[in-house]
Structure 1
Amino acid sequence: MLSINNLSYYIGGRPLYENASLHIKPKDKMGLVGLNGTGKSTLLKIINGDIQPSSGEIQKAKDCTIGFLNQDLLSYQSEDSILDVALEAFKETLSLQVEIEKVLQQMETDHSEAVIQKLADLQERFEANEGYTIKAKAEEVLEGIGFQTADLSRPLRTFSGGWRMRVMLAKLLLEKPSLLMLDEPTNHLDLPSIQWVENYLKTYDGAVVVVSHDQTFLNNCTETTVEVSQHTLTSYPGNYDYYKKEKTAREEIQQNAYENQQQMIKQTERFIERFRAKASKSNQVQSRIKALERMDRVSEVVRDDVSVNFKFKFSQKSGRDVVILDGVSKSFGDLRILQNTHARIERGDKIALIGANGKGKSTLLRIINGSEPIEGKREEGYNVIKSFFAQHQLEALDVNNEILQELAQEGTSKTETELRGVLGCFLFTNDDVFKKIKVLSGGEKSRVALAKTLISEANFLLLDEPTNHLDMQSVNILIQALQQYEGTFVTVSHDRHFIKGVANKIWYIEDHQIKEYPGSYDEYVYWRSQQVPKRTSASADKKELKTTPPVKNSGAGNSQAKKILKEKEKEMAALEEEITRLEQEKKRVEDQLADPKIYENEKELTRFNQLYAALKDQESRLNGQWEQLGEQIESLQA
Structure 2
Amino acid sequence: MIRLDNISKRNGHRVIFIEASAALLKGEKIGLVGPNGAGKTTLFRLVAGQEIPDDGQVLVDRGVSIGFFNQDVGEMQGRSAVAEVMNGAGPVAETGAELAELEAALADPERMDELDSILERFGEVQARFEELGGYALDGRAREILHGLGFSQEMMDGDVGRLSGGWKMRVALARILLMKPDVMLLDEPSNHLDLESLIWLEKFLSGYDGALLMTSHDRAFMNRIIDKVIEIDGGTLTSFSGDYEFYEQQRAQNEKQQQAQFERQQAMLAKEIAFIERFKARASHAAQVQSRVKKLDKIDRVEPPKRRQAMSFTFRPAPRSGDAVATLRSVDKRYGSRVIYDGLDVLIRRQERICVLGVNGAGKSTLLKLAAGAIEPDAGSVALGGGVKLGYFAQHAMDLLDGDATIFELLESNFPQAGQASLRALAGGFGFSGDDIDKPCRVLSGGEKARLVMAVMLYDPPNFLVLDEPTNHLDIATKEMLINALQDYEGTMLFVSHDRHFLAALSNRVLEVTPGGLQRYEGGYSEYVERTGREAPGLHE
TM-score under structure 2 length normalisation = 0.92
3-state DSSP of counterpart to 2:62: coil
**Measured at CA, do residues 115 and 178 of structure 1 come closer, stay the same or move farther in structure 2, by a change above 3 Å?**
closer
Counterparts of 1:353-364 in structure 2, within 5 Å, are 353-364=355-366
Corresponding residue number in structure 2 for 1:341: 343
Contact 1:412/1:457 (<8 A) preserved: no
1:489-538, Cα deviation, whole Å (9 max, x unpaired): 112211111112211122221116232222122221122217999xxxxx
**Measured at CA, do residues 407 and 47 of structure 1 come closer, stay the same or move farther in structure 2, by a change above 3 Å?**
same
**Measured at CA, do residues 334 and 54 of structure 1 come closer, stay the same or move farther in structure 2, by a change above 3 Å?**
same
Corresponding residue number in structure 1 for 2:459: 456
- Per chain length, whose mean CA-contact separation is higher, i.e. which structure has more relative contact order (CA < 8 Å, sep 6+)? 2
1:267-323, Cα deviation, whole Å (9 max, x unpaired): 111122112222332333233223323322212123337373603233x32111111
Corresponding residue number in structure 2 for 1:81: 80
Letter in 2 for 1:58: V
Corresponding residue number in structure 2 for 1:323: 325
Cα distance, 1:96 vs structure 2: 5.0
3-state DSSP of counterpart to 1:174: helix
**Measured at CA, do residues 439 and 80 of structure 1 come closer, stay the same or move farther in structure 2, by a change above 3 Å?**
closer
Contact 2:355/2:495 (<8 A) preserved: yes
3-state DSSP of counterpart to 1:235: strand
Letter in 2 for 1:478: L
**Measured at CA, do residues 114 and 366 of structure 1 come closer, stay the same or move farther in structure 2, by a change above 3 Å?**
closer
Counterparts of 1:496-535 in structure 2, within 5 Å, are 496-511=499-514, 513-529=516-532
Corresponding residue number in structure 2 for 1:214: 217
Letter in 2 for 1:215: R
Letter in 2 for 1:332: Y
Letter in 1 for 2:146: E
3-state DSSP of counterpart to 2:267: helix
CA distance in 1, matches of 2:438, 2:122: 68
**Measured at CA, do residues 264 and 101 of structure 1 come closer, stay the same or move farther in structure 2, by a change above 3 Å?**
same
Contact 1:99/1:122 (<8 A) preserved: no
CA distance in 2, matches of 1:530, 1:232: 40
**Measured at CA, do residues 121 and 45 of structure 1 come closer, stay the same or move farther in structure 2, by a change above 3 Å?**
closer
* Cα RMSD after superposing both structures: 2.6
Unaligned runs of 5+ in 2: none
Letter in 1 for 2:316: K
Corresponding residue number in structure 2 for 1:351: 353
Contact 2:312/2:480 (<8 A) preserved: no
Cα distance, 1:117 vs structure 2: 6.0
Q: Single out whichever of 98-107 and 5-14 deviates more from structure 2.
A: 98-107
**Measured at CA, do residues 297 and 383 of structure 1 come closer, stay the same or move farther in structure 2, by a change above 3 Å?**
same
Size of the aligned set, in residue pairs, is 532
**Measured at CA, do residues 531 and 33 of structure 1 come closer, stay the same or move farther in structure 2, by a change above 3 Å?**
closer
Q: Single out whichever of 301-310 and 233-242 deviates more from structure 2.
A: 301-310
Q: Single out whichever of 149-158 and 126-135 deviates more from structure 2.
A: 126-135
3-state DSSP of counterpart to 2:68: strand
**Measured at CA, do residues 531 and 464 of structure 1 come closer, stay the same or move farther in structure 2, by a change above 3 Å?**
closer
Contact 1:386/1:462 (<8 A) preserved: yes
Corresponding residue number in structure 2 for 1:491: 494
1:191-221, Cα deviation, whole Å (9 max, x unpaired): 1111111101011121111111110110111
Contact 2:406/2:438 (<8 A) preserved: yes
Alignment of 1:8 with 2:8, yes or no, is: yes
Contact 2:310/2:477 (<8 A) preserved: no
Counterparts of 1:2-81 in structure 2, within 5 Å, are 2-73=2-73, 75-81=74-80
Contact 1:336/1:512 (<8 A) preserved: no
Cα distance, 1:482 vs structure 2: 0.7
CA distance in 1, matches of 2:59, 2:414: 57
Q: Single out whichever of 35-44 and 412-421 deviates more from structure 2.
A: 412-421
CA distance in 2, matches of 1:309, 1:162: 30
**Measured at CA, do residues 396 and 113 of structure 1 come closer, stay the same or move farther in structure 2, by a change above 3 Å?**
closer
3-state DSSP of counterpart to 1:508: strand
**Measured at CA, do residues 113 and 42 of structure 1 come closer, stay the same or move farther in structure 2, by a change above 3 Å?**
closer
Cα distance, 1:187 vs structure 2: 0.9
**Measured at CA, do residues 268 and 217 of structure 1 come closer, stay the same or move farther in structure 2, by a change above 3 Å?**
same
Which residue, out of 306, 314, 324, partners 1:303? 306
Higher helix share: 1
Contact 2:310/2:429 (<8 A) preserved: no
1:73-120, Cα deviation, whole Å (9 max, x unpaired): 1x4222111111111113234135325624753799799988776655
CA distance in 2, matches of 1:135, 1:347: 51
3-state DSSP of counterpart to 1:185: coil
Counterparts of 1:125-524 in structure 2, within 5 Å, are 125-304=128-307, 306=309, 308=311, 310-314=313-317, 316-374=318-376, 375-411=378-414, 415-511=418-514, 513-524=516-527
Contact 2:5/2:22 (<8 A) preserved: yes
Letter in 2 for 1:166: R
Cα distance, 1:44 vs structure 2: 0.6
Identity %: 38
Contact 1:304/1:473 (<8 A) preserved: no
Letter in 2 for 1:503: S
Counterparts of 1:479-628 in structure 2, within 5 Å, are 479-511=482-514, 513-529=516-532
Contact 1:319/1:383 (<8 A) preserved: yes
Cα distance, 1:130 vs structure 2: 2.0
CA distance in 2, matches of 1:257, 1:92: 58
Q: Single out whichever of 403-412 and 241-250 deviates more from structure 2.
A: 403-412
User: Which of the two has higher C-alpha Rg?
Assistant: 1
CA distance in 1, matches of 2:486, 2:79: 47
CA distance in 2, matches of 1:521, 1:444: 28
CA distance in 1, matches of 2:513, 2:200: 23
3-state DSSP of counterpart to 1:258: helix
Contact 2:352/2:508 (<8 A) preserved: yes
**Measured at CA, do residues 353 and 230 of structure 1 come closer, stay the same or move farther in structure 2, by a change above 3 Å?**
same
Unaligned runs of 5+ in 1: 534-638
**Measured at CA, do residues 103 and 122 of structure 1 come closer, stay the same or move farther in structure 2, by a change above 3 Å?**
farther
Contact 1:350/1:503 (<8 A) preserved: yes
3-state DSSP of counterpart to 1:187: coil
Q: Single out whichever of 388-397 and 188-197 deviates more from structure 2.
A: 388-397
1:430-468, Cα deviation, whole Å (9 max, x unpaired): 444344434433322221110111113311111122112
**Measured at CA, do residues 56 and 117 of structure 1 come closer, stay the same or move farther in structure 2, by a change above 3 Å?**
closer
Cα distance, 1:150 vs structure 2: 1.3
CA distance in 2, matches of 1:222, 1:497: 17
**Measured at CA, do residues 32 and 114 of structure 1 come closer, stay the same or move farther in structure 2, by a change above 3 Å?**
closer
CA distance in 1, matches of 2:115, 2:309: 77
Contact 1:350/1:504 (<8 A) preserved: yes
CA distance in 2, matches of 1:448, 1:51: 33
Contact 1:44/1:181 (<8 A) preserved: yes
1:556-588, Cα deviation, whole Å (9 max, x unpaired): xxxxxxxxxxxxxxxxxxxxxxxxxxxxxxxxx
**Measured at CA, do residues 252 and 115 of structure 1 come closer, stay the same or move farther in structure 2, by a change above 3 Å?**
closer
3-state DSSP of counterpart to 2:397: helix
3-state DSSP of counterpart to 1:515: strand
CA distance in 2, matches of 1:12, 1:122: 48
CA distance in 2, matches of 1:106, 1:209: 47
**Measured at CA, do residues 96 and 273 of structure 1 come closer, stay the same or move farther in structure 2, by a change above 3 Å?**
same
Letter in 1 for 2:224: C
